[in-house]
Every structure is written in structure tokens, then in C-alpha cells.
Amino acid sequence: MKYHHEKIEAKWQQYWAENQTFAASNTSDKPKYYVLDMFPYPSGAGLHVGHPLGYIASDIVARYKRHQGFNVLHPQGYDSFGLPAEQYAIQTGQHPADTTRMNIEGGVDKSGNTIQGYRNQLDRIGFSFDWSREVRTSNPDYYKHTQWIFIQLFESWYNKNSDKAESICTLMQEFEKNGNANVNAVCDDNIAPFSAEDWKSFSSSAQQKILLQYRLTYLAETEVNWCAALGTVLANDEIVNGVSERGGHPVVRKKMTQWSMRISAYAERLLQGLNEIDWSESIKESQRNWIGKSVGAMVSFKVIASEAKQSIEVFTTRPDTIFGVTFMTLAPEHDLVAQITTPEQKAAVEAYIEATAKRSERERMADVKTISGVFTGAYAEHPFTKEPIPVWIGDYVLAGYGTGAVMAVPCGDERDYAFANFFKGTNGMPAIKNIFNQDISEA
């Protein structure tokens, strides 16, 4: 007997659609179970094999849980907002709203091409999605919520005493009564103290600038991946071998004013919350690493012969190794690099910075085999021994991690040792010493 799979599948897919078979109930007494997939970006090329590869596994779980008596919420949606939609519109000369809708729903485009549409393809595979809860990130009724979240963060500050975010109005009230002397907040560094009288005398513009130093969302100059051809900032995932994944355009690291969030304020609460979640230990550990909370100390190294009396601030989780420090390495983007580099080293340092700007942070972190760096010509004073310590720049140090500077201890850190061993007095540079003040090659 011949198996007419097309007729059978079409029959039941129609039945599922008409009877809302996979719709989750809002009032069910059944135990709840949530199965969420990563939303695809709807392009004219249609689904690729990676989409059903992941969706099949999650669909098996959703169906299994339904058979076990769970009220399963298994929605689907489209990541239809942003650079891909914008670039596709530019390439095809069509409005992104039109191309996005066509790629989702299918039909015939302006060029006469038949577009299958993601919805049609997903249905034909037979996934058990609850389409009554479809999400399209390009729709105003969706992204209004992300805008609302931003506003809530902007209108809040983090009170360390209560260990939670509070309305910015409460901070303004405190400023009016007592100034900022008693404020214990997650905020910018080096905020000047002011009294209640000072606060009242400030102009409205000055007050807003101060509040921006406390808000959970704030403007700051940060290192970004800039693609001039696309006219936008790119995430690390959008860069392949130093060029943009879309279009293959050059990408460089540069500083730009960006909206940032003080998410580190929630680090401890996030870590403690992991203890209450029924997840595998491996996933919890990956989350702990992502949160990235570090406990350590700040150490200050004075720059020798600096007219401005500059210091290099270092955060370290191992302050007990400070007597093993034999050199320092700054991120190429560190603000002090341009200020402390000697005239003799200026050309080499600038060339190195230009080359480093073409590599993403992810590429620099992943490349543990390549050792590179340049001596700035400057020295810092060891805070205890008072010995001069050569200051280098190296792309294995990231400006966004810690202070963008590391105190290198070759005897206790593998990467510091490899760096020191590679630059043991070559090219006229000073030899980096080990803990016993011997040449590293003799240790």
C-alpha cells in the first residue's frame, strides 16, 4: 500500500491550524512548560539547514511534554529588525517593511520572483508552534516594549544600601536634602562631592549631567567595532577575519560615544539567583563565567619621569603576586598610551595600534598562539621595591576588561611568561626580567 505522505501531512497540518492544536492556554490547570527557540532572520533565501536542525530537537521536547500533560508554550517569531533587513533593502531597492513581510508570508515580489516565505516552510516541516503568539521584532507593538525597558533603566539608579534599582527621583530628593555625601550607588568613578546648596545652585543642564553619572543607562565613550562602509557598529559575531560578515567590508576598533548599562550592579544577585534555578551545573558554570564577577584589589603604579604625575591603575585578583611583577602591559587602546610613549617609540607604537584596530576583541581573545607587542619607552615604579618596570602594549590585553592594564607576573602566569620569553631583550628593547631579576632566558 502506497504511503501518500503529502496528502496525510497536508490534512493534519490543516487540522492543527484550524483547531489551534498547539495553542497554549492562559487558564489551564496543567503544569506549565516553556520551550523557546532562537528566532530566525527572514531573508529572501528562505530557511537554511541550521534552522530545522535546532527546531526539530526543541519540537521533540515540546511534543513530549504535551503527552506528559503539560500546558506547553512553544512560540515562534522572526528576528526581523536591524542590519540584515536594512542591507537587504539597500541591495534590492525595496522598503524593508515590504521585504520583511514578503520573506515571512511569501508571495511574488516586485521582480516577479516567487518567495516561499518562512511561515509556509516552517508549517510544511510540521513544527508544533503556537502561531497565535507569533513575534516580529520589526513591529512597533513589539519594540515598544524594548523602548519602555530602556526608559525604565534610564529613570533608575542602583542603590547599594537597598541592593536594588530605585527611581531617579529618590536620588534627586537626596541631593536636595544632603548632597551626594551619603549616596552609596553604582555610578561613574571620581564624581566630585557636592552639598545640598551646591545642587540647588547648579543649572538644570549641570544637574542632568550629574544624574547621568548615576543612571542605569548612561552615555560613555567605549571601544566598538566600526564598519564605515555599512555606517554602523558591529557585534563580534558579525565580523569574520577582520571584515564584516555582510558585504566583507573592513572593520576597525575605535572609540565612540555609546549608550551603556550598569549591568555589573546585578552581578551578585544574578550569581545568587543561579542557586535557585533547576539547571545543570555545566550551564550554571557557563552563566557564572558570563557574569564574570571578579574579586580582587586595585594597585597603582606611578609612571616614572611623568610631568603630569600619571599612574597606571591595575585590577588584580592576585595581589599576593605583586612582588613577582617585572613588566606591565597596556591595551593598545588605553588612554595613557599616547601620553607616556616616548618619541623614539612613537612610530612603532602607532603602527601597532593601527594593526590591532583591525582585529575584533573575540579574535584577540581566541588567538593564544600569536605573541605581539611594542615597548612604549616608558617605565613605571614598583609600589614596594621602587624598581623601574618597563611598560609595553599588547593586544592580549583588552581595554574593556578591568582597567585595560595588567601587572605581568611571568613566574605565575603562562601568558605573561610567554610574552616575556618572546621579548627577552630583542630589537634593542629592555629584557623583561623574572622574579629573581634575572634574564628570563636564564631562569
Q: State mean pLDDT over 293-318.
A: 89
The cell for 298 is: 586595585
pLDDT of residue 308: 66
Q: Give the span between the Cα atoms of 182 and 421, in whole angstroms.
A: 49
Confidence of residue 436 (pLDDT cuts 50, 70, 90): very low
Each residue's pLDDT tens digit, 25-68:
999 999 999 999 999 988 877 888 888 889 999 999 999 999 99
Q: 225 and 207 in one domain?
A: no
DSSP H helices in 299-343: 335-340
Q: 28 and 132 in one domain?
A: yes
From the list 99, 125, 134, 126, the residue with the least C-alpha distance to 113 is 99
- Residue type for position 158: Y
Q: 164 and 129 in one domain?
A: no
Residues in the chain: 443
Q: 128 and 10 in one domain?
A: yes
The cell for 383 is: 609600589
Domain that holds residue 192: 144-216
**Domain-embedded: residue 353:** yes
Q: State mean pLDDT over 352-357.
A: 89
**Domain-embedded: residue 117:** yes
Q: Give the span between the Cα atoms of 223 and 234, in whole angstroms.
A: 11
The cell for 287 is: 552563566
Indicate the residue among 123, 138, 153 that finishes a domain. Answer: 138
Highest mean pLDDT among 45-49, 240-244, 260-264: 260-264
Confidence of residue 189 (pLDDT cuts 50, 70, 90): confident
pLDDT of residue 50: 86
Highest mean pLDDT among 170-174, 383-387, 428-432: 170-174
pLDDT of residue 213: 96
Q: How far apart are the first and last CA of the chain?
A: 81
Q: State mean pLDDT over 378-385.
A: 94
Q: 153 and 210 in one domain?
A: yes
Q: 425 and 403 in one domain?
A: yes
The cell for 419 is: 610574552
pLDDT of residue 441: 44
Residue 3: CB atoms within 10 Å: 7
Each residue's pLDDT tens digit, 128-146:
999 999 999 999 999 999 9
Check if the beta carbon of residue 342 is closer than 8 Å to that of residue 430: no
Q: 77 and 117 in one domain?
A: yes
Q: 9 and 130 in one domain?
A: yes
Check if the beta carbon of residue 118 is closer than 8 Å to that of residue 46: yes
pLDDT of residue 367: 79
Output the CA–CA distances (angstroms, integers) from residue 147 to 93, 166, 218, 443, in the order listed. 28, 19, 15, 58
More reliable by pLDDT, 433 or 437 = 433
Q: How many domains does the chain have?
A: 4
pLDDT of residue 425: 57
Average pLDDT, the chain: 89
Read off the CATH number of the domain in which 360 is found.
Answer: 3.90.740.10
Q: Model-level pTM? A: 0.76
Range with the lowest mean pLDDT among 15-19, 102-106, 219-223, 328-332?
219-223
